[in-house]
Chain A
Amino acid sequence: MAGGSFGQALVIDLDVGGGDPLPLSDDVLRRYLGGVGLGTWLLHELSDPAADPLAPEAVLAFVFSPLVGTPLTTSAKFAVVARSPLTGMLTDALASSHFAIAGKLTGHDAIAIRGQCDHPSVLLIDGDGARLIDAGETWGMSAAAAEAHLSAQLGPGWRIASIGPAGEAQVRYATVSHDGRHAGRGGLGAVMGAKRLKAVAVKACTKVPSADPAAVLAAARDLRARSFGPATAKYRELGTLSNLLAFNAINTLPTNNFTTSTFADAPKLAAEELHDLRSVTRNSCASCAIGCEHIYATKDGGSARVEYENVFALGPLCGVSDPDAVLAASVRCDDLGIDTISAGGTIAWAMSCAEAGLLDAPWLRFGDGTALLRALDEIGSGTGIGPLLRQGSRRAAAELGGDAPSHAVHVKGLELPGYEPRTLHAMALGLAVNARGADHNRSGAYEADLSGELDRFDGGDAHVAAAIVTEDRAAVMDSMILCKFLRGVFDDPFEEWAGLLSGVTGWDLDGAELARTAERIVLAKRMFNLRAGWTPEDDWLPPRLVDNPLELSSGRVAELSSARLRAMVDAYHVARGLDPDGLPDPAAYADLQLTAPLPDPAPDPLPDPAPDPHLSPRPKVRS
């Protein structure tokens, strides 16, 4: 067995309350590494991709990785993987800290959960095995409160991942969180809530050696030293919020639901401003030397964890410039346990609809912080427009009908992060084609746009290549797992990562094999989506962003034409070895080592009265 792993997953069936080990061969571990890669393989093997994500048979997997538990900086991370109730596709989200280490040291490389508790419960896993206890009064608490309550109840050594009230209510963009960090995107908290599972608590009971501990220690020392260099200065000094003012200066800050790309009041929300005006503390995940978390004091004496994405989504995207309102909204999202990007995106959609007279909510206006907080409260309580907004922008728009879908800015149902695609053409492609939907953590193609190496307004072959490179790198980083904020310290990423993994696992990996691993993981995700109902039309951007010119502050007009996007998407599919139906070469599919046969191409889309075609089970197995 490879170092750094146990060669088994624990498969829990909540209907019966127990768990069984699932052997993981060395071959599978080497092919998929861990984290997102292994989670994708597990989802293929353990679940029906077409099953309703909120049904009992849906599978939710917590997946660890070979590097977890080593002294390598930023390695204490875990992936949560399931079919998303927001997109109907695969969603994989990462969170950090001690849960990753304790979860792995229960003796498992992954914990996969299916079934449904008959009442709200907490799943405990330690050296005595897996068991359920009553969630008791934690049901209804915020994730942070539930975590604190369970920590006190269970005693030292237990680490807890929990959902908040939004997960319990199956809000489709609810999160799973641990120690204040969220596995945020795609509604994993709703999947857990549908299982009536408030929390998963894990306690370490064993150890796992690396193949070459001395080499790993030396690599850890080297990596730690490099992590203090200029490539991570941004994260250490101001955190990701330092993007905000810079993005505003380069017409890349989506504002008022993507109607403009600059926000006049951006300085009020800027890290450069707030850092000097508020008391700020820094924090870091377990095993991290960077410490990118910047926690700002709030008006009411509390504190808010501040990142670019939550400030963007609850600030400029909704036109809100009052920092107190934005920080309060961010705290409210944390308390409810919802993804700030999808929350902000859905509320911004609702603001557009309210202003266009499509939604009867005259109080909901861009720029109104009080309205933003009220909308979040209604999402939390399920009153007023809350039930509509709980569904995310795509479903809500389909329900509202008329012109409402044209205001919904999402890909595959996942609301866009804070990157304006019309001024970032490599990123536009990355957002359009990524398996998870519009997401900046699975496609970092903006790096190429912002590098100065290619023209960000002139998407073409170089942008396609850049989107593939960054997607591949993300696939490996999210599987081995290292934090992406460390990515800038690697000069030759695949070779250097192969070296780190070899020291831990004992495999004789090289960069070329890891590059193939990346392609395999990307393909495996796409194949899950294909089996779940993906069609080629899903790799596209929303109408607001295509053939809709955007005037820049320089006077130039930025546009992403449908012809240009079509050319880039087609070139991406070809480069990924996919035919027009999204199907790969049979040999590439065989390399995935999946039990399920290669799916048939999707049938031609029929006129579909259902608001979400992705959630209508569509059996598509080649006979």
Chain B
Amino acid sequence: MGDVGIVLVGGRSSRMGAPKAGLEWHGSTLLRRTVGVLRRAVDGPVIIVRAPDQAVPETPDDVLIVDDDQEGLGPLQGLAVGLEAAAAHGEMAFVCSTDLPFLHPAYIRKVLACFDEDTDVVLPMVHGHRQPLAAGYRTALAPQVQRLLTEGARKPAMLFDVVRTRRLDEDALLSDPALAAADPGLRSVLNINDPDDYARARATAPPTVDVRCFGTLARSGGYDGHDGRPVAAATLEGAARAVGISLDQHVVAALNGDRITRDGHTPLMDGDRVSLLSADAGG
């Protein structure tokens, strides 16, 4: 069993004035981006926890969506539902909200890598705050969280006092070379609360990625593709478009030599290497 990703999309988004999950993000949505980042970082499934009948933007077919029937009980309730659903799929879960536009896979990997057998929660302490919605939880905690809820608890902080919580400060996080290189300012935990936050985040330049095309794609791209070409693109589709290729049924992509996908919404990060291949590879 791998690690699981959990996104909590409930909450009223009252200061934003619109559901954060559906905010546009470089041709995609903020939720789609968050799900995509989790998919890049965990081996197991990604689970979305939503309010009953809450409309959520389109996500890949393999994303599990669970309903949180108890409205108004806050993030601890969403956490309980998410961990319970995740328990069948993995021992550890990275849990986050949907409003983290700069969340990086290296951050998630670092948090999950800090679990050991004496740890129930990995709680980052960044920019002077606890980050319970960008943290790691053991999925077996679900009954314990449920018990706290019945006792009237509403905030994740109440959980940290009663389970084995490992707090990670910025130095501890940045001791990881991959994270230090990818996200030295730990922008992974920056969230969006109002339209100004969103406008600032949206104005940030998209990441610069290196696109390489292979085989017939290198030729049809009209340049010597295997050397790679730096382009600014927030999604796979954007990267392909930037080199004149559309992700049709004859094209697949691999990120950093890893998973292969045709999902154009796959979020990209600075320094990613995007390989565009003929889908008819083999023979």
Residues of A within 8 A of B (CB): 230-235, 237-238, 240, 242-243, 245-247, 249-251, 262, 267, 270-273, 308, 440, 444, 446-447, 449-453, 455-458, 484-485, 488, 552-556
CB distance from B178 to the nearest CB of A (A): 7
A391 to B219, CA, bound (A): 42
Do A246 and B260 contact each other (CB < 8 Å), given the known contacts A237-B216, A237-B219, A272-B215? no
Interchain CB contact under 8 A, A234 and B278: yes
Interchain CB contact under 8 A, A250 and B260: yes
CB distance from A233 to the nearest CB of B (A): 5
User: Inside 8 A of B214's CB, which chain A residues have their CB?
Assistant: 242, 245-246, 249, 272
Interchain CB contact under 8 A, B254 and A272: no
* B128 at interface by CB-CB < 8 Å: no
User: Inside 8 A of B219's CB, which chain A residues have their CB?
Assistant: 237-238, 272
Q: Looking at the complex, which one of A238, A272, A308, A554 makes contact with B256 (CB distance below 8 Å)? A: A554
Interchain CB contact under 8 A, A457 and B216: no
- Contacts A/B (CB < 8 Å), 16 sampled: A234-B216, A234-B283, A238-B216, A242-B278, A243-B215, A245-B226, A246-B215, A249-B275, A250-B257, A272-B214, A272-B219, A446-B282, A450-B279, A452-B279, A453-B262, A554-B257
* B218 at interface by CB-CB < 8 Å: yes
Interchain CB contact under 8 A, B43 and A450: no
Number of interface residues of B (CB under 8 A): 34
A243 to B225, CA, bound (A): 14
Interchain CB contact under 8 A, B258 and A552: yes
Do A456 and B215 contact each other (CB < 8 Å), given the known contacts A270-B226, A444-B282, A451-B279? no
* B200 at interface by CB-CB < 8 Å: no
Interchain CB contact under 8 A, B282 and A447: yes
Do A250 and B254 contact each other (CB < 8 Å), given the known contacts A234-B278, A245-B214? yes
* B170 at interface by CB-CB < 8 Å: no
User: Inside 8 A of A446's CB, which chain B residues have their CB?
Assistant: 281-282
Closest to A235 in B: B283
Do A234 and B215 contact each other (CB < 8 Å), given the known contacts A246-B278, A250-B277, A452-B263? yes
CB distance from B202 to the nearest CB of A (A): 28
User: Inside 8 A of A458's CB, which chain B residues have their CB?
Assistant: 2, 43
CB distance from B127 to the nearest CB of A (A): 26
CB distance from A237 to the nearest CB of B (A): 5
Q: Looking at the complex, which one of B2, B257, B260, B280 makes contact with A553 (CB distance below 8 Å)? A: B257
* B241 at interface by CB-CB < 8 Å: no
Q: Looking at the complex, which one of B178, B252, B263, B280 makes contact with A488 (CB distance below 8 Å)? A: B280
Can you list, as one digit per residue, whether each of B203-216 has a CB less than 8 Å from chain A (1) or not (0)? Answer: 00000000010111
* B259 at interface by CB-CB < 8 Å: yes
Q: Besides the contacts A251-B257, A262-B257, A553-B256, what 14 more A-B pairs have beta carbons closer than 8 Å?
A: A235-B283, A245-B215, A249-B257, A249-B277, A250-B275, A270-B226, A446-B282, A449-B260, A450-B279, A450-B281, A451-B252, A456-B259, A552-B257, A554-B258
Closest to B253 in A: A452
User: Inside 8 A of B279's CB, which chain A residues have their CB?
Assistant: 450-452
A249 to B253, CA, bound (A): 10
Do A450 and B277 contact each other (CB < 8 Å), given the known contacts A246-B214, A272-B226? yes
User: Inside 8 A of A273's CB, which chain B residues have their CB?
Assistant: 226
User: Inside 8 A of A245's CB, which chain B residues have their CB?
Assistant: 214-215, 226
Summarize A's interface: helix, strand, loop or mixed.
helix
CB distance from B260 to the nearest CB of A (A): 5
* B224 at interface by CB-CB < 8 Å: yes
User: Inside 8 A of A251's CB, which chain B residues have their CB?
Assistant: 257-258
A444 to B279, CA, bound (A): 13
Closest 10 CB pairs of A and B: A242-B215, A246-B214, A554-B256, A249-B275, A554-B258, A452-B262, A452-B261, A250-B254, A553-B257, A246-B277
Can you list, as one digit per residue, whether each of B76-105 has a CB less than 8 Å from chain A (1) or not (0)? Answer: 000000000000000000000000000000
CB distance from B238 to the nearest CB of A (A): 17
Do A272 and B283 contact each other (CB < 8 Å), given the known contacts A249-B254, A455-B259? no
Q: Which B residues from 244 to 283 make CB contacts under 8 A with A?
A: 250, 252-263, 273, 275, 277-283
Q: Looking at the complex, which one of A230, A246, A271, A456 makes contact with B250 (CB distance below 8 Å)? A: A230
Residues of B within 8 A of A (CB): 2, 43, 178, 212, 214-216, 218-219, 224-226, 250, 252-263, 273, 275, 277-283
User: Inside 8 A of A553's CB, which chain B residues have their CB?
Assistant: 256-257
User: Inside 8 A of B280's CB, which chain A residues have their CB?
Assistant: 231-234, 488
CB distance from A499 to the nearest CB of B (A): 22
CB distance from B52 to the nearest CB of A (A): 31
User: Inside 8 A of A271's CB, which chain B residues have their CB?
Assistant: 215
Interchain CB contact under 8 A, B215 and A247: no
Q: Looking at the complex, which one of B212, B224, B258, B283 makes contact with A240 (CB distance below 8 Å)? A: B283
Interchain CB contact under 8 A, B277 and A238: no
Closest to A250 in B: B254
Do A272 and B225 contact each other (CB < 8 Å), given the known contacts A231-B280, A245-B214, A450-B279? yes
CB distance from A75 to the nearest CB of B (A): 18
Closest to A230 in B: B250
A450 to B277, CA, bound (A): 9
User: Inside 8 A of A270's CB, which chain B residues have their CB?
Assistant: 226
A453 to B259, CA, bound (A): 10
Closest to A275 in B: B219
A557 to B183, CA, bound (A): 22
Of A232, A242, A555, most B-chain CB atoms within 10 Å: A242
Closest to B215 in A: A242
CB distance from A394 to the nearest CB of B (A): 25
Closest to B228 in A: A249
A249 to B217, CA, bound (A): 14
CB distance from A247 to the nearest CB of B (A): 7
User: Inside 8 A of A552's CB, which chain B residues have their CB?
Assistant: 257-258
User: Inside 8 A of A233's CB, which chain B residues have their CB?
Assistant: 216, 250, 278, 280
Closest to B224 in A: A272
A455 to B215, CA, bound (A): 23
Interchain CB contact under 8 A, B252 and A450: yes
User: Inside 8 A of B256's CB, which chain A residues have their CB?
Assistant: 553-554
User: Inside 8 A of B283's CB, which chain A residues have their CB?
Assistant: 234-235, 240, 243, 308, 440, 484-485
Interchain CB contact under 8 A, A272 and B218: yes
CB distance from A311 to the nearest CB of B (A): 13
Interchain CB contact under 8 A, A450 and B260: yes
Interchain CB contact under 8 A, B216 and A242: yes
A238 to B277, CA, bound (A): 13
User: Inside 8 A of B273's CB, which chain A residues have their CB?
Assistant: 249
User: Inside 8 A of A237's CB, which chain B residues have their CB?
Assistant: 215-216, 219
